[in-house]
Structure 1
Amino acid sequence: MTVPHPSPAPRRALVVGGSTGIGRAVAEAWARAGLDVLVLSRSRPTGDGADLLHWSPLDLSDADAARAALDGAGAGPLDAVCYSAVSYGTRRALFGDVEEGEWRRQVEVNLHGLWLTLSATLPVLRRARSGLFLGISSEVVYNAGPGRSGYAATKAAGSALLDSIAQEEGADGVRVVQALPAGMVDTPGIRQRRPADFDYGAYMRPRHFAALAHELVTAGAADHHGDSLIVDEYGQWRSVREARPVSQSREVPA
Protein backbone atom coordinates (compact mmCIF):
# COMPACT_ATOMS: atom_id res chain seq x y z
CA MET A 1 0.00 0.00 0.00
CA THR A 2 1.36 3.42 -0.98
CA VAL A 3 1.11 6.04 1.73
CA PRO A 4 0.46 9.45 0.19
CA HIS A 5 2.86 12.18 1.16
CA PRO A 6 1.25 15.26 2.70
CA SER A 7 1.16 18.28 0.46
CA PRO A 8 3.77 20.90 1.36
CA ALA A 9 2.49 23.92 3.22
CA PRO A 10 1.93 26.89 0.89
CA ARG A 11 4.57 29.57 0.89
CA ARG A 12 3.43 32.66 2.77
CA ALA A 13 3.94 36.31 1.91
CA LEU A 14 3.17 39.66 3.51
CA VAL A 15 2.61 42.95 1.68
CA VAL A 16 2.46 46.11 3.78
CA GLY A 17 0.52 48.73 1.84
CA GLY A 18 -0.90 46.24 -0.64
CA SER A 19 -4.51 47.31 -1.09
CA THR A 20 -3.79 49.60 -4.07
CA GLY A 21 -0.96 50.76 -6.30
CA ILE A 22 2.36 48.98 -6.75
CA GLY A 23 1.91 47.00 -3.53
CA ARG A 24 -1.37 45.61 -4.83
CA ALA A 25 0.30 44.53 -8.08
CA VAL A 26 3.02 42.74 -6.09
CA ALA A 27 0.46 41.07 -3.81
CA GLU A 28 -1.58 39.74 -6.74
CA ALA A 29 1.52 38.58 -8.63
CA TRP A 30 2.66 36.63 -5.58
CA ALA A 31 -0.79 35.13 -5.07
CA ARG A 32 -0.94 34.04 -8.71
CA ALA A 33 2.50 32.45 -8.24
CA GLY A 34 0.97 30.23 -5.56
CA LEU A 35 1.82 32.10 -2.37
CA ASP A 36 -0.63 32.65 0.47
CA VAL A 37 -0.62 36.46 0.66
CA LEU A 38 -1.64 38.66 3.58
CA VAL A 39 -2.09 42.39 2.95
CA LEU A 40 -1.77 44.86 5.81
CA SER A 41 -3.16 48.29 4.94
CA ARG A 42 -5.61 50.97 6.03
CA SER A 43 -8.21 49.96 3.45
CA ARG A 44 -9.42 46.53 2.36
CA PRO A 45 -8.41 45.41 -1.16
CA THR A 46 -11.36 45.57 -3.55
CA GLY A 47 -12.09 44.81 -7.19
CA ASP A 48 -10.70 42.13 -9.47
CA GLY A 49 -8.11 39.97 -7.74
CA ALA A 50 -9.10 40.96 -4.21
CA ASP A 51 -10.42 37.44 -3.62
CA LEU A 52 -6.86 36.14 -3.97
CA LEU A 53 -5.69 38.06 -0.91
CA HIS A 54 -6.15 37.97 2.85
CA TRP A 55 -6.37 41.31 4.62
CA SER A 56 -5.93 42.82 8.08
CA PRO A 57 -6.08 46.52 8.98
CA LEU A 58 -2.91 48.48 9.66
CA ASP A 59 -2.47 52.17 10.51
CA LEU A 60 1.20 53.09 10.63
CA SER A 61 0.44 56.40 12.35
CA ASP A 62 -0.36 54.37 15.50
CA ALA A 63 3.04 52.83 16.26
CA ASP A 64 1.86 50.56 19.09
CA ALA A 65 -1.04 49.11 17.09
CA ALA A 66 1.16 48.80 14.01
CA ARG A 67 3.80 46.93 15.97
CA ALA A 68 1.19 44.51 17.29
CA ALA A 69 -0.26 43.92 13.81
CA LEU A 70 3.17 43.31 12.29
CA ASP A 71 4.24 41.02 15.12
CA GLY A 72 1.07 39.01 14.54
CA ALA A 73 1.74 38.78 10.80
CA GLY A 74 5.26 37.59 11.52
CA ALA A 75 4.22 34.97 14.05
CA GLY A 76 4.14 32.21 11.43
CA PRO A 77 6.44 31.26 8.56
CA LEU A 78 7.12 33.88 5.91
CA ASP A 79 8.88 33.44 2.57
CA ALA A 80 8.51 36.94 1.11
CA VAL A 81 7.72 40.42 2.42
CA CYS A 82 7.08 43.61 0.46
CA TYR A 83 6.99 47.08 1.99
CA SER A 84 5.01 49.41 -0.27
CA ALA A 85 3.30 51.77 2.19
CA VAL A 86 3.97 55.40 1.35
CA SER A 87 3.04 58.93 2.32
CA TYR A 88 3.63 61.43 -0.49
CA GLY A 89 2.28 64.44 1.36
CA THR A 90 -0.78 66.44 0.38
CA ARG A 91 0.99 68.28 -2.48
CA ARG A 92 4.37 69.46 -3.64
CA ALA A 93 5.26 72.44 -1.49
CA LEU A 94 8.34 74.36 -0.44
CA PHE A 95 9.87 73.36 2.89
CA GLY A 96 8.53 76.39 4.76
CA ASP A 97 4.97 75.65 3.63
CA VAL A 98 4.86 72.09 4.97
CA GLU A 99 3.24 71.51 8.37
CA GLU A 100 5.09 69.50 10.99
CA GLY A 101 2.24 67.01 11.09
CA GLU A 102 2.79 66.12 7.43
CA TRP A 103 6.53 65.64 8.04
CA ARG A 104 5.81 63.35 10.98
CA ARG A 105 3.39 61.33 8.88
CA GLN A 106 6.05 60.81 6.22
CA VAL A 107 8.57 59.70 8.84
CA GLU A 108 6.03 57.32 10.39
CA VAL A 109 5.03 55.71 7.09
CA ASN A 110 8.06 55.94 4.81
CA LEU A 111 10.73 55.23 7.41
CA HIS A 112 9.52 54.07 10.82
CA GLY A 113 6.91 51.75 9.32
CA LEU A 114 9.67 50.14 7.26
CA TRP A 115 11.78 49.76 10.40
CA LEU A 116 8.88 48.15 12.26
CA THR A 117 8.24 45.75 9.37
CA LEU A 118 11.88 44.73 9.19
CA SER A 119 12.04 44.22 12.95
CA ALA A 120 8.99 41.94 12.88
CA THR A 121 9.79 39.94 9.76
CA LEU A 122 13.55 39.61 9.26
CA PRO A 123 13.95 36.92 11.95
CA VAL A 124 11.14 34.91 10.31
CA LEU A 125 12.50 35.38 6.79
CA ARG A 126 15.90 34.09 7.93
CA ARG A 127 14.28 30.76 8.74
CA ALA A 128 12.85 30.46 5.22
CA ARG A 129 14.69 29.06 2.27
CA SER A 130 15.82 32.08 0.26
CA GLY A 131 13.65 34.54 2.16
CA LEU A 132 12.93 37.77 0.25
CA PHE A 133 12.38 41.34 1.42
CA LEU A 134 11.25 43.67 -1.38
CA GLY A 135 11.18 47.41 -0.72
CA ILE A 136 9.37 49.77 -3.12
CA SER A 137 11.71 52.69 -3.65
CA SER A 138 11.52 55.90 -5.71
CA GLU A 139 13.61 57.92 -8.13
CA VAL A 140 13.51 60.70 -5.53
CA VAL A 141 16.15 58.70 -3.60
CA TYR A 142 18.59 59.70 -6.36
CA ASN A 143 17.02 62.99 -7.48
CA ALA A 144 16.15 65.21 -4.54
CA GLY A 145 14.22 68.18 -5.85
CA PRO A 146 12.19 71.22 -4.84
CA GLY A 147 8.80 70.80 -3.26
CA ARG A 148 9.24 67.29 -1.90
CA SER A 149 11.88 67.58 0.81
CA GLY A 150 10.09 65.33 3.31
CA TYR A 151 9.32 62.64 0.76
CA ALA A 152 12.88 62.72 -0.58
CA ALA A 153 14.46 62.61 2.87
CA THR A 154 12.37 59.75 4.21
CA LYS A 155 12.56 57.62 1.04
CA ALA A 156 16.33 58.12 0.87
CA ALA A 157 16.67 57.11 4.51
CA GLY A 158 14.53 54.02 3.92
CA SER A 159 16.64 53.03 0.93
CA ALA A 160 19.84 53.44 2.96
CA LEU A 161 18.32 51.30 5.71
CA LEU A 162 17.65 48.48 3.24
CA ASP A 163 21.09 48.86 1.65
CA SER A 164 22.68 48.49 5.09
CA ILE A 165 20.63 45.42 5.94
CA ALA A 166 21.48 43.84 2.58
CA GLN A 167 25.15 44.11 3.50
CA GLU A 168 24.50 42.69 6.96
CA GLU A 169 22.60 39.73 5.53
CA GLY A 170 25.28 38.93 2.97
CA ALA A 171 24.95 36.37 0.20
CA ASP A 172 23.60 33.62 2.46
CA GLY A 173 20.96 35.61 4.32
CA VAL A 174 17.65 37.20 3.41
CA ARG A 175 17.59 38.52 -0.14
CA VAL A 176 16.99 42.28 0.04
CA VAL A 177 15.87 43.91 -3.20
CA GLN A 178 14.49 47.37 -3.96
CA ALA A 179 12.35 48.25 -6.98
CA LEU A 180 11.28 51.64 -8.31
CA PRO A 181 9.34 52.94 -11.31
CA ALA A 182 11.10 54.60 -14.23
CA GLY A 183 8.37 57.27 -14.34
CA MET A 184 5.26 58.44 -12.57
CA VAL A 185 2.69 55.74 -11.78
CA ASP A 186 -1.09 56.11 -11.91
CA THR A 187 -2.14 55.20 -8.36
CA PRO A 188 -4.93 56.35 -6.03
CA GLY A 189 -2.38 58.20 -3.91
CA ILE A 190 -1.13 60.18 -6.90
CA ARG A 191 -4.69 60.88 -8.10
CA GLN A 192 -5.45 62.58 -4.79
CA ARG A 193 -2.79 65.15 -5.69
CA ARG A 194 -3.88 65.81 -9.29
CA PRO A 195 -6.78 67.86 -10.73
CA ALA A 196 -9.90 65.96 -11.81
CA ASP A 197 -9.19 66.51 -15.52
CA PHE A 198 -5.53 65.39 -15.38
CA ASP A 199 -4.36 63.18 -18.28
CA TYR A 200 -2.63 60.01 -17.02
CA GLY A 201 -1.94 58.67 -20.52
CA ALA A 202 1.84 58.93 -20.15
CA TYR A 203 1.90 57.42 -16.66
CA MET A 204 3.00 53.88 -15.84
CA ARG A 205 0.55 51.41 -14.28
CA PRO A 206 1.07 49.30 -11.14
CA ARG A 207 0.72 46.12 -13.22
CA HIS A 208 4.11 46.87 -14.79
CA PHE A 209 5.65 45.53 -11.55
CA ALA A 210 3.92 42.14 -11.79
CA ALA A 211 6.56 40.41 -13.91
CA LEU A 212 9.42 41.37 -11.59
CA ALA A 213 7.44 40.40 -8.49
CA HIS A 214 6.66 37.01 -10.05
CA GLU A 215 10.28 36.36 -11.00
CA LEU A 216 11.61 37.24 -7.56
CA VAL A 217 9.52 34.51 -5.89
CA THR A 218 9.80 31.89 -8.63
CA ALA A 219 13.26 32.17 -10.19
CA GLY A 220 14.76 33.54 -6.98
CA ALA A 221 16.31 36.86 -6.01
CA ALA A 222 19.92 35.83 -5.36
CA ASP A 223 21.18 37.64 -8.48
CA HIS A 224 19.48 40.87 -7.38
CA HIS A 225 20.43 40.88 -3.70
CA GLY A 226 21.40 44.37 -2.56
CA ASP A 227 20.36 45.95 -5.83
CA SER A 228 17.73 48.53 -6.79
CA LEU A 229 15.86 47.70 -9.99
CA ILE A 230 14.21 50.33 -12.20
CA VAL A 231 10.99 49.00 -13.74
CA ASP A 232 9.81 50.58 -16.99
CA GLU A 233 6.49 50.90 -18.82
CA TYR A 234 7.10 47.59 -20.61
CA GLY A 235 7.45 45.65 -17.38
CA GLN A 236 11.20 45.25 -17.91
CA TRP A 237 13.86 46.23 -15.42
CA ARG A 238 17.49 47.21 -15.08
CA SER A 239 19.85 47.93 -12.21
CA VAL A 240 20.19 51.48 -10.94
CA ARG A 241 23.92 50.84 -11.14
CA GLU A 242 23.68 51.05 -14.92
CA ALA A 243 22.19 54.55 -14.95
CA ARG A 244 20.36 56.75 -12.48
CA PRO A 245 16.58 57.07 -12.91
CA VAL A 246 15.15 60.13 -14.62
CA SER A 247 14.14 62.89 -12.21
CA GLN A 248 10.45 63.72 -11.83
CA SER A 249 11.21 67.03 -10.09
CA ARG A 250 9.77 70.30 -11.29
CA GLU A 251 9.88 73.87 -10.07
CA VAL A 252 7.41 74.81 -7.36
CA PRO A 253 6.18 78.43 -7.32
CA ALA A 254 7.27 80.32 -4.23
Structure 2
Amino acid sequence: MTDQNGNRRRALVVGGSTGIGRGVADAWARSGLDVTVLSRSVPAGDGADRLRWLPTDLTDGARFAENLALVTEHPLHGVCFSAVHYGDRRAHFRDCGESEWRRQIEVNLHGLWTTLSRTLPALSRPGDPGVFLGISSEVVYNAGPGRSGYAASKAAASALLDSVTQEEGGRGPGTEAVRIIQALPAAMVDTPGIRRRRPAGFDYSAYMEPASFAPLARELALTAGAGLHGAHLVVDGGGTWSPVGERLPVSQSRAVS
Protein backbone atom coordinates (compact mmCIF):
# COMPACT_ATOMS: atom_id res chain seq x y z
CA MET A 1 0.00 0.00 0.00
CA THR A 2 1.40 3.41 -1.02
CA ASP A 3 0.49 7.03 -0.32
CA GLN A 4 -0.38 9.77 -2.81
CA ASN A 5 3.32 10.20 -3.62
CA GLY A 6 3.93 6.50 -4.24
CA ASN A 7 5.72 5.94 -0.92
CA ARG A 8 5.10 2.80 1.11
CA ARG A 9 2.58 3.41 3.88
CA ARG A 10 3.85 2.73 7.38
CA ALA A 11 2.11 1.96 10.65
CA LEU A 12 3.05 1.64 14.31
CA VAL A 13 1.46 -0.52 17.01
CA VAL A 14 2.53 0.14 20.59
CA GLY A 15 1.87 -3.05 22.53
CA GLY A 16 1.49 -5.16 19.39
CA SER A 17 3.25 -8.44 20.10
CA THR A 18 0.16 -10.11 21.62
CA GLY A 19 -3.50 -9.43 22.34
CA ILE A 20 -5.66 -6.85 20.59
CA GLY A 21 -2.61 -4.92 19.44
CA ARG A 22 -1.32 -8.02 17.68
CA GLY A 23 -4.70 -8.48 16.01
CA VAL A 24 -4.45 -4.93 14.66
CA ALA A 25 -0.78 -5.30 13.66
CA ASP A 26 -1.44 -8.53 11.72
CA ALA A 27 -4.45 -7.04 9.93
CA TRP A 28 -2.53 -3.92 8.96
CA ALA A 29 0.39 -5.98 7.68
CA ARG A 30 -1.94 -8.17 5.63
CA SER A 31 -3.48 -4.98 4.22
CA GLY A 32 -0.09 -3.98 2.85
CA LEU A 33 1.15 -1.59 5.53
CA ASP A 34 4.77 -1.69 6.70
CA VAL A 35 4.13 -2.31 10.42
CA THR A 36 6.51 -1.71 13.31
CA VAL A 37 5.67 -3.08 16.76
CA LEU A 38 7.00 -1.61 20.00
CA SER A 39 6.67 -4.08 22.86
CA ARG A 40 8.60 -5.90 25.55
CA SER A 41 8.19 -9.33 23.96
CA VAL A 42 9.04 -10.25 20.38
CA PRO A 43 6.06 -11.03 18.11
CA ALA A 44 5.89 -14.78 17.54
CA GLY A 45 3.79 -17.24 15.61
CA ASP A 46 1.93 -16.93 12.34
CA GLY A 47 2.41 -13.54 10.71
CA ALA A 48 5.32 -12.44 12.90
CA ASP A 49 7.61 -12.39 9.87
CA ARG A 50 5.54 -9.52 8.43
CA LEU A 51 6.24 -7.27 11.43
CA ARG A 52 9.23 -5.15 12.35
CA TRP A 53 10.00 -5.13 16.08
CA LEU A 54 11.77 -2.71 18.39
CA PRO A 55 12.09 -4.01 21.98
CA THR A 56 10.46 -1.41 24.19
CA ASP A 57 9.45 -1.13 27.83
CA LEU A 58 7.17 1.88 28.24
CA THR A 59 8.56 2.51 31.73
CA ASP A 60 11.97 3.15 30.15
CA GLY A 61 11.19 6.65 28.93
CA ALA A 62 14.49 7.27 27.18
CA ARG A 63 14.38 4.07 25.10
CA PHE A 64 10.69 4.56 24.35
CA ALA A 65 11.36 8.07 23.03
CA GLU A 66 14.33 6.85 20.97
CA ASN A 67 12.27 4.14 19.31
CA LEU A 68 9.41 6.51 18.58
CA ALA A 69 11.92 8.90 16.99
CA LEU A 70 13.15 6.09 14.72
CA VAL A 71 9.64 5.14 13.63
CA THR A 72 8.55 8.73 12.98
CA GLU A 73 11.45 9.54 10.67
CA HIS A 74 8.93 8.83 7.89
CA PRO A 75 5.23 9.73 7.62
CA LEU A 76 2.81 7.29 9.25
CA HIS A 77 -0.51 6.11 7.88
CA GLY A 78 -1.71 4.52 11.11
CA VAL A 79 -0.84 4.29 14.81
CA CYS A 80 -2.47 1.98 17.36
CA PHE A 81 -1.87 2.30 21.10
CA SER A 82 -2.74 -1.01 22.74
CA ALA A 83 -0.18 -1.25 25.56
CA VAL A 84 -1.75 -1.90 28.94
CA HIS A 85 -0.87 -2.79 32.51
CA TYR A 86 -3.81 -4.35 34.34
CA GLY A 87 -2.07 -5.03 37.61
CA ASP A 88 -1.13 -8.36 39.12
CA ARG A 89 -4.71 -9.19 40.09
CA ARG A 90 -8.00 -7.59 40.96
CA ALA A 91 -7.72 -6.22 44.46
CA HIS A 92 -9.35 -3.62 46.66
CA PHE A 93 -7.84 -0.15 46.66
CA ARG A 94 -6.55 -0.60 50.22
CA ASP A 95 -4.60 -3.67 49.12
CA CYS A 96 -2.88 -2.07 46.13
CA GLY A 97 0.54 -0.53 46.53
CA GLU A 98 1.87 2.70 45.09
CA SER A 99 4.25 0.88 42.73
CA GLU A 100 1.34 -0.80 40.92
CA TRP A 101 -0.52 2.50 40.66
CA ARG A 102 2.53 4.24 39.23
CA ARG A 103 3.06 1.49 36.64
CA GLN A 104 -0.57 1.69 35.53
CA ILE A 105 -0.26 5.44 35.07
CA GLU A 106 3.13 5.10 33.37
CA VAL A 107 1.92 2.54 30.83
CA ASN A 108 -1.79 3.18 30.36
CA LEU A 109 -1.76 6.98 30.47
CA HIS A 110 1.73 8.41 30.14
CA GLY A 111 2.57 5.85 27.46
CA LEU A 112 -0.40 7.08 25.45
CA TRP A 113 0.58 10.73 26.01
CA THR A 114 4.13 10.03 24.82
CA THR A 115 2.91 8.15 21.77
CA LEU A 116 0.51 10.93 20.81
CA SER A 117 3.09 13.67 21.29
CA ARG A 118 5.65 11.89 19.09
CA THR A 119 3.39 10.50 16.37
CA LEU A 120 0.79 13.18 15.65
CA PRO A 121 3.22 15.19 13.48
CA ALA A 122 4.01 12.07 11.44
CA LEU A 123 0.28 11.36 10.99
CA SER A 124 -0.75 14.91 10.09
CA ARG A 125 -1.25 15.39 6.36
CA PRO A 126 -4.06 17.68 5.15
CA GLY A 127 -5.78 15.88 2.33
CA ASP A 128 -4.25 12.52 3.29
CA PRO A 129 -4.86 12.15 7.04
CA GLY A 130 -3.40 9.39 9.17
CA VAL A 131 -5.45 7.49 11.73
CA PHE A 132 -4.76 7.02 15.46
CA LEU A 133 -6.54 4.06 17.06
CA GLY A 134 -6.68 3.93 20.84
CA ILE A 135 -7.71 0.62 22.42
CA SER A 136 -10.14 1.47 25.19
CA SER A 137 -12.01 -0.68 27.71
CA GLU A 138 -15.49 -1.16 29.12
CA VAL A 139 -14.01 -0.13 32.47
CA VAL A 140 -14.11 3.47 31.20
CA TYR A 141 -17.91 3.23 31.46
CA ASN A 142 -18.18 0.63 34.25
CA ALA A 143 -15.81 1.36 37.09
CA GLY A 144 -16.03 -1.57 39.46
CA PRO A 145 -14.54 -3.11 42.58
CA GLY A 146 -10.96 -4.33 42.45
CA ARG A 147 -9.98 -2.25 39.41
CA SER A 148 -9.49 1.26 40.77
CA GLY A 149 -6.08 1.95 39.20
CA TYR A 150 -6.94 0.32 35.91
CA ALA A 151 -10.29 2.12 35.71
CA ALA A 152 -8.79 5.51 36.59
CA SER A 153 -5.90 5.26 34.13
CA LYS A 154 -8.08 4.01 31.25
CA ALA A 155 -10.74 6.65 31.87
CA ALA A 156 -8.06 9.36 31.87
CA ALA A 157 -6.60 7.93 28.66
CA SER A 158 -10.00 8.04 26.99
CA ALA A 159 -10.51 11.65 28.08
CA LEU A 160 -7.05 12.55 26.74
CA LEU A 161 -7.96 11.12 23.34
CA ASP A 162 -11.33 12.91 23.38
CA SER A 163 -9.62 16.23 24.04
CA VAL A 164 -7.04 15.72 21.28
CA THR A 165 -9.86 14.62 18.96
CA GLN A 166 -11.52 18.00 19.35
CA GLU A 167 -8.24 19.81 18.73
CA GLU A 168 -7.58 17.80 15.56
CA GLY A 169 -11.12 18.11 14.22
CA GLY A 170 -10.37 20.60 11.47
CA ARG A 171 -13.26 22.64 10.10
CA GLY A 172 -15.64 19.72 9.86
CA PRO A 173 -15.89 16.13 8.59
CA GLY A 174 -13.32 15.39 5.92
CA THR A 175 -11.01 18.24 6.91
CA GLU A 176 -9.09 16.48 9.71
CA ALA A 177 -5.31 16.26 9.43
CA VAL A 178 -5.44 13.25 11.79
CA ARG A 179 -8.42 11.06 12.61
CA ILE A 180 -8.65 9.68 16.15
CA ILE A 181 -10.81 6.67 16.99
CA GLN A 182 -11.29 4.62 20.14
CA ALA A 183 -12.33 0.96 20.09
CA LEU A 184 -13.01 -1.54 22.85
CA PRO A 185 -14.01 -5.20 23.01
CA ALA A 186 -17.60 -6.15 23.82
CA ALA A 187 -16.37 -8.94 26.12
CA MET A 188 -13.22 -10.35 27.66
CA VAL A 189 -10.46 -11.14 25.16
CA ASP A 190 -8.27 -14.22 25.36
CA THR A 191 -4.76 -12.77 25.67
CA PRO A 192 -1.55 -13.85 27.39
CA GLY A 193 -1.98 -11.04 29.92
CA ILE A 194 -5.43 -12.29 30.88
CA ARG A 195 -4.29 -15.94 30.97
CA ARG A 196 -1.63 -15.04 33.53
CA ARG A 197 -4.44 -13.94 35.84
CA ARG A 198 -6.64 -17.03 35.42
CA PRO A 199 -6.37 -20.43 37.15
CA ALA A 200 -5.24 -23.55 35.34
CA GLY A 201 -8.06 -25.24 33.45
CA PHE A 202 -10.06 -22.01 33.00
CA ASP A 203 -12.63 -22.16 30.18
CA TYR A 204 -11.95 -19.41 27.61
CA SER A 205 -14.61 -20.52 25.13
CA ALA A 206 -16.79 -17.46 25.82
CA TYR A 207 -13.87 -15.03 25.37
CA MET A 208 -13.23 -13.00 22.23
CA GLU A 209 -10.13 -13.48 20.10
CA PRO A 210 -7.70 -10.64 19.20
CA ALA A 211 -8.48 -11.32 15.53
CA SER A 212 -11.98 -9.93 16.14
CA PHE A 213 -10.36 -6.50 15.69
CA ALA A 214 -9.00 -7.39 12.25
CA PRO A 215 -12.04 -6.23 10.21
CA LEU A 216 -12.00 -2.79 11.87
CA ALA A 217 -8.24 -2.54 11.42
CA ARG A 218 -8.56 -3.37 7.72
CA GLU A 219 -11.27 -0.75 7.34
CA LEU A 220 -9.04 1.87 8.95
CA ALA A 221 -6.11 0.87 6.74
CA LEU A 222 -8.22 1.37 3.62
CA THR A 223 -10.14 4.50 4.63
CA ALA A 224 -7.93 6.12 7.30
CA GLY A 225 -11.05 6.30 9.43
CA ALA A 226 -13.05 8.52 7.12
CA GLY A 227 -16.31 9.38 8.85
CA LEU A 228 -15.17 7.90 12.17
CA HIS A 229 -13.13 10.74 13.69
CA GLY A 230 -14.01 10.91 17.40
CA ALA A 231 -15.94 7.63 17.42
CA HIS A 232 -16.00 5.23 20.37
CA LEU A 233 -16.65 1.79 18.87
CA VAL A 234 -17.59 -1.49 20.55
CA VAL A 235 -16.18 -4.50 18.64
CA ASP A 236 -17.88 -7.86 19.09
CA GLY A 237 -16.59 -11.40 18.71
CA GLY A 238 -17.76 -11.62 15.12
CA GLY A 239 -15.70 -8.61 14.09
CA THR A 240 -18.57 -6.16 13.68
CA TRP A 241 -18.67 -2.84 15.50
CA SER A 242 -21.11 -0.20 16.63
CA PRO A 243 -20.93 3.15 18.46
CA VAL A 244 -20.86 3.02 22.25
CA GLY A 245 -23.98 5.20 22.31
CA GLU A 246 -25.95 2.47 20.55
CA ARG A 247 -24.75 -0.36 22.77
CA LEU A 248 -23.17 0.36 26.10
CA PRO A 249 -20.47 -2.21 26.93
CA VAL A 250 -21.36 -4.88 29.46
CA SER A 251 -19.59 -4.54 32.79
CA GLN A 252 -16.90 -7.14 33.46
CA SER A 253 -16.69 -6.23 37.14
CA ARG A 254 -17.17 -8.89 39.76
CA ALA A 255 -17.01 -9.09 43.50
CA VAL A 256 -13.51 -9.23 44.98
CA SER A 257 -13.10 -11.29 48.12
The verdict on a shared fold, with TM-score over 0.5 as the criterion, is: yes
Structure 1, residues 130-175: CA drift from partner, whole Å, max 9, x if none?
2100000000000000000000000000000001111100042200
Name 2:38's counterpart in structure 1.
40
Tell me if structure 1 keeps the 8 A contact 2:125–2:178: no
Give the CA deviation at 1:73: 1.4
Residue in 1 that maps onto 2:108: 110
Partner of 1:133: 132
- Find the aligned partners of 1:62 and 1:8 in 2 and give their Cα distance: 35
Correspondence for 1:228 among 229, 232, 242 = 232
Q: Which residue of 1 aligns with 2:142?
A: 143
- With normalisation by structure 1, the TM-score equals 0.95
Identify the residue that residue 157 of structure 2 maps to in structure 1.
158
TM-score normalised to the size of structure 2? 0.94
Compute the RMSD of aligned alpha carbons: 1.1
Identity across the alignment (%): 66
- CA–CA separation in structure 1 for the residues paired with 2:138 and 2:76: 29
| 2:130–2:224 Cα contact (<8 Å) kept | no
- Structure 2 counterparts to residues 43-192 of structure 1, below 5 A: 43-127=41-125, 129-170=128-169, 171=173, 172-192=176-196
Q: What corresponds to 1:4 in structure 2?
A: none
Structure 2: segments with no counterpart, 5+ residues: none
Distance 1:141 1:225 in 2: 19
Q: Distance in 2 between matches of 1:54 and 1:65?
A: 17
Which residue, out of 163, 183, 200, partners 1:196? Answer: 200
| Kept in 1: contact 2:233–2:243 (CA 8 A) | yes
Which runs of at least 4 in structure 1 moved beyond 2 Å after TM superposition?
none
Unmatched 5+ stretches in structure 1:
1-6
Alignment length (residue pairs): 247
3-state secondary structure, aligned to 1:158: helix
Preserved contact between residue 58 and residue 106 of structure 2 (Cα < 8 Å): yes
